[in-house]
Structure 1
Amino acid sequence: MAKIITFAQQKGGSGKTTLCAHVAVELAQRGHAVALLDSDPQGSLGRWFMTRFERDSGIKGDLTFSTASAWGVSYEASKYKNSHEFVLIDTPPKIDSDLKPALKVSDLVVVPVTASQVDLWATEGVLDMAGREGKRPLAVLNRARAGTKLTQSVKAALSELEAEAAEAVIANRVAYAEALGAGLGAAEMPGAAVAAAEIAALADEVLASLD
């Protein structure tokens, strides 16, 4: 039975799609069969996957992609329950009734939070909605700048929210955007060893949260 992981955050630019794609590649590189569902009308995850599909055949890993309307997520996810180990869902940057179906079917909700007070405020709404669906999300500090007081204060604040605060911190690295633009994950991007290690650490926590 596939485990369903939803990436959600009401504030745009938090890095939902970026983390979803990189974690998907990391899991696929480890030999897992991964399905991606894009319910965000912007379609960025689909553009990334198409770029990936058009690359040379040397890419490793079992990745499947499809789109889904907000209310069709449950049906689309069910198609992969016996054929894949993981289904990763990218959602629109909003919190309303459209997000509920994805939260409801999720085994884990991952909430990216950039190192800003505004993002921290925005996170509260997502956590509240997830809580009403009986979920305790994994909050991930994303696009962080090492050594800054702001990053330290936001990371400390995460532990006080109604969520598990991930130990893994994703830094503000050009490698993540470059990899996505090339249809790759950090684990596949030449010269992105540090970024790949960060994603690997996050993937470890995701898997541990699903146990």
Structure 2
Amino acid sequence: MTGKIITVAQQKGGSGKTTLSAGLAMAAVEAGKSVAIIDSDPQGSLGRWFMARHEAGRADGVNFSTASAWGIAFECDKLKADHDLVIVDTPPKVDADLRPAFRASDLIIVPVSASQVDVWATESVLELAEREDRPAMVVLNRARSGTRLATEIGEAISGMPCITADTVISNRVVYAEAMGQGKSVGEAQRTGPAAQEMRALSKEVFKQLGL
């Protein structure tokens, strides 16, 4: 087995990287794929989410690891030998420390919250992805559907040199609630709109990766 590697990256904090990483991981498990997650953010939010799962007896189906920026390549090589998908959550920055994760990746996912500041921050992430010759998918995250701002940000994203996800992740309380409980949105509200959004996004990602 040689699995695929996703790195979730964004220069600006508060973009929802960890929530997206956890959501995609569990959507992949739900789809029958073997999954590993790597937390390379010193804040450790993805690790705390995983430990909440572990303590509640829900850790089956996901392998968890941590790695420093320069240990990412080794950890990814090790995990992709036994997993269909490896997801790397990164700290909110764009510098040389991100290069090893980008180089190891088959796809870089860049969440963008509905603000112009987030759009500006995204440009440097896409530039780094381009320099490393890796495809990047931008996902509009925490959006308020039907607002003029969300429409404007969506238009700005569509003009960037990247893949633009068709699925928009809305600003819903259940995402934060599920993370705090060590759950995915699919587990918190299996048939709710948030779970449907995450499943739809995961299908786009799987198609891009050929999974």
Q: Same fold (TM over 0.5)?
A: yes
SS of alignment partner, residue 172 of structure 1? coil
Give the aligned partner of residue 64 of structure 1.
63
Equivalent-residue separation in structure 1 for 2:90 and 2:48 (angstroms): 15
* Counterpart residue number, 2:146: 147
| Alignment CA distance shift 1:33-1:154 (3 Å) | same
CA contact (8 A) 1:29 1:61 kept: no
Give, in angstroms, the shift of residue 81 of structure 1: 2.0
Runs of 4+ in 1 over 6 A off after TM superposition: none
Is it true that 1:89 corresponds to 2:88 in the alignment? yes
The 3 A distance-change label for structure 1 pair 109 and 39 is: same
SS of residue matched to 1:64: strand
Aligned counterparts, 1:37-56, within 5 A: 37-55=38-56
CA contact (8 A) 1:175 1:192 kept: no
Moved more, 75-84 or 198-207: 75-84
Q: Where do 5+ consecutive residues of structure 2 fail to align?
A: none
1:80 aligns to what SS in structure 2? Answer: helix
Instruction: Give the equivalent residue in structure 1 for 2:179.
Output: 180
1:5 alignment partner in structure 2: 6
CA distance in 1, matches of 2:24, 2:149: 25
Q: Which residue of 2 aligns with 1:23?
A: 24
Fraction of identical pairs, as percent: 53
Q: Which residue of structure 2 aligns with residue 130 of structure 1?
A: 129
Which SS does the other structure have where 2:80 is aligned?
Answer: coil
- Whole-Å separation in 2 of the counterparts to 1:88 and 1:135: 15
Query: Residue 75 of structure 1 aligns with which residue?
Result: 74
Q: Is the 1:136–1:162 Cα contact (8 Å) retained in structure 2?
A: no
Residue matched to 1:167 = 166
CA contact (8 A) 2:119 2:153 kept: yes
Give the Cα–Cα distance (whole angstroms) in 2 for the partners of residues 178 and 77 of structure 1. Answer: 29
Between the aligned partners of 2:191 and 2:38, the Cα distance in structure 1 is: 26
Are positions 1:117 and 2:98 aligned together? no
Q: Which amino acid aligns with 1:9?
A: Q
What's the secondary structure of 2:79's corresponding residue? coil
CA contact (8 A) 1:33 1:61 kept: no
Displacement of 1:201? 0.6
Call closer, same or farther: CA 1:208–1:191 in 2, change over 3 Å: closer
**Residue 69 (structure 1) shift:** 0.2
1:126-182 CA-partner distances (Å, limit 9, x unpaired): 000000000120000000001110000100111110111100000000000000000
Between the aligned partners of 1:54 and 1:192, the Cα distance in structure 2 is 25
2:37, 2:62 within 8 Å by CA — same for their partners in 1? Answer: yes
**Residues 14-44 of structure 1, C-alpha deviations (whole Å, 9 max, x = no match):** 0000000011011011111100000000000
Q: Is the Cα–Cα contact under 8 Å of residues 32 and 61 in structure 1 kept in the other structure? A: no
Paired amino acid for 1:14: S
Structure 1 distance, partners of 2:189, 2:104, is 36
State the shift of 1:11 in Å. 0.2
CA displacement, residues 49-69 of structure 1 (integer Å, 9 cap, x when unaligned): 0000011x4x48510101000
Give the corresponding residue for 2:97: 98
